[in-house]
Amino acid sequence: MLVAVVGVAVVVGQTMMPEADSSPEEVPGTEADEGGDGEVEVAISPDEEPTPEREPPDEPEPAAARQCAQRASEAVDDPPDGWEHLTSPPMREAAELLWAGDQLLQVGGSIAEQHPDADGELFAYIPSGPDAGDVWDCLGDGPFRLEEVAAVATEGGAVFVVSRGRAAMFLPRLEQWRELPAAPFSHTPFTLAWTGEELIAWGNRSGTTRSGAIYDPDTEQWRTMADAPMLAERGDAIWTGEQLVVVARGGAAAYDPHDDAWTELPPSGLSPQAVAATATDSVVVAYDYMLDAGYYDLSAGTWNELPSLPLAAGECFPDANTLTDGTVVAFYCGQLALLDPSKSSWEAIEVPGDGNGNLLAGARPVVAPDGFHLLSSGTFGGTAQHWHYQP
């Protein structure tokens, strides 16, 4: 799929360019299918593999009995300042990684030949508190097959999961699943966003649909969204706290769930090859495959240029996130750069290994309250890695 990885955004308390009244919270997004309404039954296309039913998960076992077979990863002597080397999860390909409450979760994905130890579909890593330890707990399977999933966490730590039209909610504290009504589409969304009240599921992984649907937990019903004026192909989607903003193929659009309306935004001026986006409290920051960058002022409604990222160009999809203090994180080809929210300037950060990103090629960042975690499955020639970075 030629689409940039959707970053995990966080509510931030610092402005980067002009101040605005919005107080965004970034959450991963979902995709949706063309057409359909909340009353339409989900139809599985002949070329799609149906998701089999499962028995309800058993009662949680004692924590010691749930510890996964811990994976060894290549040691790094004298890592750069700010970096801590942690135990890698039993990695599954294309799994969703997200922060929920006080723990890091890995949800779904497929078992690849190089990861035969990845039994189960849900794994948790708790970095602090009474249950903390440098170990991963195996929490078992979901209520249906979770090979291809989109997932997002709420402010309280509950996790919504949508996979090929099936939907469920997971409560990490109770280790309980609850299956939800099926969505009015049969694919996995491109982006899932939690608005604070409802779940937005928009687009699809192939970037071929403009449609989506919204789930209301109070009524336990889905309703269809107005079609977007653009596709998400090779793009990114971000929840700003009030709108879902999609940046793709040089264009941009914003969706207001209260009005069920899309607004086409001015062109971003960024490369259509691939782009990553994230939000601070007043702007959407984006950068592209060629490392050019810009920001969209949510109040003024204009795009503005930023300096290009001080990284080496490569054949990678860009990734972007926002830390709790408003700092923008750009991760690209195993390299890292931070955007100072007050100076509008990028700073390249030394990464573990040879300093050129080779150790962390293919890694994905997950924002945590005290920084972020970087996890790599080792599918790009390296070994599985799990690092924590605190600026």
14 assigned to some structural domain: no
353 assigned to some structural domain: yes
Q: What is the band of 340 on the pLDDT scale with cuts at 50, 70, 90?
A: confident
- Has residue 358 got a pLDDT over 90? no
Number of domains in the chain: 1
Mean pLDDT of 12-18: 38
pLDDT, tens digit, 9 for 90 and up, residues 320-331:
999 999 999 999
pLDDT, tens digit, 9 for 90 and up, residues 360-374:
888 889 999 999 999
Residue 96: the pLDDT is 94
Residue among 349, 334, 335, 348 at smallest CA distance from 379: 334
pLDDT, tens digit, 9 for 90 and up, residues 93-108:
889 999 999 999 999 9
Alpha helices by DSSP H, the chain:
63-66
Q: Give the range among 12-16, 56-60, 143-147 with minimum mean pLDDT.
A: 12-16
DSSP letter at 300 equals T
One-letter amino acid at 348 equals: A
Residue 15: the pLDDT is 38
Q: What is the band of 347 on the pLDDT scale with cuts at 50, 70, 90?
A: very high
84 assigned to some structural domain: yes
pLDDT, tens digit, 9 for 90 and up, residues 154-206:
999 999 999 999 999 999 989 999 999 999 999 999 999 999 999 999 999 88
Residue 149: the pLDDT is 95
Residue 49: the pLDDT is 46
Residue 118: the pLDDT is 62
229 assigned to some structural domain: yes
29 assigned to some structural domain: no
What Rg value do the Cα atoms of the chain yield, rounded? 20
Mean pLDDT of 260-289: 95
- Has residue 270 got a pLDDT over 90? yes
- CATH number for the domain that contains residue 382: 2.120.10.80
Where would I find the beta strands (DSSP E) of 257-353? Answer: 261-265, 275-279, 283-288, 293-297, 302-306, 319-322, 328-332, 335-340, 345-349
Domain that holds residue 146: 79-389
- Has residue 341 got a pLDDT over 80? no
Residue 60: the pLDDT is 61
Query: In this prediction, what percent of the chain has a pLDDT beyond 70?
Result: 79
Residue 113: the pLDDT is 60
Average model confidence (pLDDT) across the chain = 83
- The string of DSSP letters for 40-102 reads SPP---TTSPP--B-PPPPPPPPHHHHB--PBP----SSPPTTEEEEPBP---BT-EEEEETT
326 assigned to some structural domain: yes
- Has residue 119 got a pLDDT over 80? no
pLDDT, tens digit, 9 for 90 and up, residues 52-62:
556 655 566 66
- Has residue 230 got a pLDDT over 50? yes
36 assigned to some structural domain: no
- Has residue 121 got a pLDDT over 60? yes
- Has residue 219 got a pLDDT over 50? yes
Residue 280 neighbours by CB under 8 Å, 6+ apart = 12, 14, 15, 16, 24, 322, 326, 328, 341
Q: What is the band of 129 on the pLDDT scale with cuts at 50, 70, 90?
A: confident
28 assigned to some structural domain: no
- Has residue 356 got a pLDDT over 80? no
